[in-house]
Structure 1
Amino acid sequence: MTDETALWAASLPPDATVFEGVVARTLATLPAPFGQAAAHIAVQIDDFAPDAMLAELGIENPFELTGLYSGIPLTEKSVMEQPMEPDTIWLFRRPILDEWVARGDIELGALIAHVFIHELAHHFGWSDGDIATIAPWQD
């Protein structure tokens, strides 16, 4: 066995725990009051989006969806309407890993953080300019 083969022989793809760690570190870097407000949003990490979600969005290839915000954006919330489910940010592990490999020009943690921040932007009603100011992203 070569040194390179030995190096990769015990390697496994990053699991949901790795993604959770990146989300936690990303939340910790958000300026107040965003970090505190974002901490109340549920985060769901799955390998792929559920079939019903893909169908509702009209997406046939599950690799096309890396993340999704489900909930009512803060800019549209009303005290008169109570949500049926908690605001949730979904991160889809396999499509994110696939994009990471296909790009080959970004660290995995940065890509996970980017997808998370993009979905968080839907919750807060941020524009692309807001995202660049609040949570800078470098392409």
Structure 2
Amino acid sequence: MSQTDWSGRKAPDLAAIETLAEAAFARLPEGFRALCDGVVIRVEDFPDDETLQEMGCESEFDLLGLFRGTGLAQGGGALHLATGQFPNMVWLYRRPLLDYWAEHDETLDHLVTHVLVHEIGHHVGLSDDDMAAIEAVAEA
């Protein structure tokens, strides 16, 4: 097994994580993606202070991703936006993702896919078992 030369490598930037998220989304089952019409996926370095406080986080590294909006089970979706209402959004947080990745034995692609499916699952109202099945299809 050859070793990778890490001497010239840098941590993945926001654009790299966004590319991983877009590729993960494209691998999701078509029916699942159809339920995500209008959902915006954003990548930021960290959650903002308001989000950290609202979620009860002790550290800015505690939150890997977040769904914000009105889930389908609550009548949300692109066709149901009220005037002035933000679209449903999935946030992926780069630095917490990288920190988690560094401490665990899984690929960054797997981690981004897992968090993306989990957060979209909140929008759709899926069970953990349903999300695991969708994730398995995306990684096949």
Shorter-chain TM-score bucket reads: 0.7 to 0.9
The DSSP-based 3-state class of the residue aligned with 2:6 is: helix
In 2, Cα distance between equivalents of 1:113 and 1:133: 12
1:126 matched to 2:139 = no
Q: Corresponding residue for 2:112?
A: 112
Runs of 4+ in 1 over 3 A off after TM superposition: 78-81
**Contact persistence 2:29–2:134 (CA under 8 A):** yes
In 2, the alpha carbon distance for the partners of 1:81 and 1:119 equals 19
* Inter-partner Cα distance in structure 2 for 1:128 and 1:64: 20
Listed as ranges, the gaps of 5+ residues in structure 1 are none
CA distance in 2, matches of 1:86, 1:49: 18
TM-score (norm 2): 0.84
Whose relative contact order is higher, 1 or 2, with alpha carbons under 8 Å and at least 6 apart? 2
- What aligned pairs does 1:87-106 form with structure 2 within 5 A after superposition? 87-103=88-104, 105-106=105-106
- The structure number with the bigger radius of gyration is 1
Q: 1:22/1:39 Cα in 2 relative to 1: closer, same or farther (>3 Å)? A: farther
Equivalence map 1:1-139=2 (5 Å):
7-38=5-36, 40-77=38-75, 82=82, 84-103=85-104, 105-136=105-136
Alpha-carbon distance change, 81 to 51 in structure 1, aligned in 2, over 3 angstroms: same
Q: Residues of 2 paired with 1:117 and 1:134: CA distance?
A: 7
> In 2, Cα distance between the equivalents of 1:71 and 1:96?
22
TM-score when normalising by structure 1: 0.84
